Amino acid sequence: MRLRKLVWKELFERKNQVVTGLLAILLGVTVIVAMRNITFYSEKAVAQELDALGANILVLPKSVTLQNYYSADIQGQEFPEEYVSRLANSNIQGVDNLSPKLAIPVQLDNRKFTLTGILPKSEFQAKSLWQGAGIFSRPTGCGTVANIPGLTPKDPKETLVRKRVIDTLNENEILVGADVAGALGVKANDNLSLLGKSFSVAAVLPQTGTVDDSRIFAHLHTVQQLSGKGKVLSVIEIVGCCDQISKGLVSKINHLLPETKVVTIGQIVDTQIKTNQMMSSLSLVFIAIIVLVGGAGIANYMYANVRERRREIGTLIALGAGSGFVLRMFLYKAILLGLVGGISGYLLGTLLALLLGPRIAGIAVLPMPTLIIWALMISVIIAVSASYFPARSAARLDPCTTLQEI
């Protein structure tokens, strides 16, 4: 006989009571683990999305609506290209990359696509006016996108997908989004006729999962010429240094270009971030609830257990058990209950997260082994704290009253 064996045998003897006593703590831990798991992967997904987008600030015509980040530049409104010079020659700090664009609708094989004019990096550097600003010679730091295996494009042309800037693009070259290429059956080095002009496909861009997939990118000046609108832009995408964004980069740009609307991508993903914050806050609320309900459940079970075992405790004392032994016996049981509650809660919570993550948050969720430590800590601390007073009352039982027949 050992203490562990004694406690296990007693637990198995009263399985139903144990399950009832543990239910609140088990469900609480399950919900917390599931929420934490989904929140973690949701935050990760937002971070990856942000990273994949590259640009984090848009300069748009004043009157556009912002229902969709990606379609904000195809609402048929423009502003002068001269704004790029203003930006490049300003003393605003924190502008890592600039990408002026003009987007116009085009039709190919009876399907609508967006032809987007972009200015390659080489032309920024060639223009003496902009050279002084040294936009692209600044050391890259906080605004530089991290390399993610599988996402980092190998072809320099494909840097457009991630950095919103490409090095070179001739006036008769185009880059084709993955969906366009799929729909039209074009590949690199094919020729394609757009608005009466023949283009050579410089590259097919990798799939991004965004509206960029249904766009065709050409040289800005070519698109301006084909559109017949002159030197205008529909958007300037900016990769701003995160640090500078928090120091008011957006308002500085707004001040410099008062006729435009300057927005951050942050505003668009704010909703997602708020949802995550709500989930985190809810987790805290759930922790508070299980501390109360789970603790009360365990304490109630333990008090009932002590009452039910008064005679057994009295007998143990008569056989020579000290109060320390009785206390240890109940606290050991509390630890076991906490471990069982924590492990089961972790397993159930993880299962719930794996099942519900893709359905409610639209994200793939993987098990998080680190959460088991939290689950066990919460569960064991609650079980032991809630059991302390019942255990102490057991240790202080008067054996005379427990042995009624004596």
Please give the helix or strand (H or E) that residue 205 lies within, else none.
none
Contact between 285 and another protein per CB under 8 A: no
Contact between 312 and another protein per CB under 8 A: yes
Residues 87, 88, 181, 317: which binds another protein (CB under 8 A)? Answer: 317
Helix ranges restricted to H, 228-322: 242-246, 249-256, 265-308, 310-318
Q: How far is 266 from 49, CA to CA, in rounded Å?
A: 11
Question: b/e for 290-310, b at 16 or more Cβ within 10 A?
Answer: bbebbbebbbebbbebbeebb
Contact between 19 and another protein per CB under 8 A: no
Question: b/e for 191-200, b at 16 or more Cβ within 10 A?
Answer: ebebbeeebe
Give least dist CB 367 to another protein, A: 36
Residues 193, 319, 359, 362: which binds another protein (CB under 8 A)? Answer: 319
Give least dist CB 316 to another protein, A: 7
Contact between 2 and another protein per CB under 8 A: yes
Q: How far is 383 from 378, CA to CA, in rounded Å?
A: 9
Stretch that binds another protein, among 96-104, 158-166, 217-225, 313-321 (CB under 8 A): 313-321
Helix ranges restricted to H, 147-258: 159-163, 178-184, 220-227, 242-246, 249-256
Give least dist CB 397 to another protein, A: 11
Residues 148, 322, 370, 373: which binds another protein (CB under 8 A)? Answer: 322
- Of residues 221 and 328, the one with the C-beta less far from another protein: 328
- Of residues 130 and 332, the one with the C-beta less far from another protein: 332
* φ and ψ at residue 127, rounded to 5 degrees: -80, 120
- Contact criterion met (CB below 8 Å) for 249 and 95: yes
Give least dist CB 341 to another protein, A: 21
Q: Tell the burial category of 24 from Cβ atoms under 10 Å away from its Cβ (0-12, 13-18, 19+).
A: buried
Of residues 366-395, which lie at the interface with another protein (CB under 8 A)? none
Contact between 12 and another protein per CB under 8 A: yes
Residues 4, 9, 111, 231: which binds another protein (CB under 8 A)? Answer: 9
Residues 52, 289, 321, 343: which binds another protein (CB under 8 A)? Answer: 321
Stretch that binds another protein, among 265-273, 282-290, 307-315, 380-388 (CB under 8 A): 307-315
Question: b/e for 349-387, b at 16 or more Cβ within 10 A?
Answer: bbebbbeebeeebebebebbeebbebbbebbbebbbebb
Give least dist CB 402 to another protein, A: 9
Stretch that binds another protein, among 2-10, 23-31, 173-181, 236-244 (CB under 8 A): 2-10
Tokens of 359: 């359905």
Beta bridge partners of 191: 200
Residues 196, 258, 324, 362: which binds another protein (CB under 8 A)? Answer: 324
Distance of CA 132 to the CA centre of its chain: 38
| Residues in touch with another protein (CB under 8 A) | 1-2, 6, 9-10, 12-13, 311-312, 314-325, 399-400, 403, 405-406
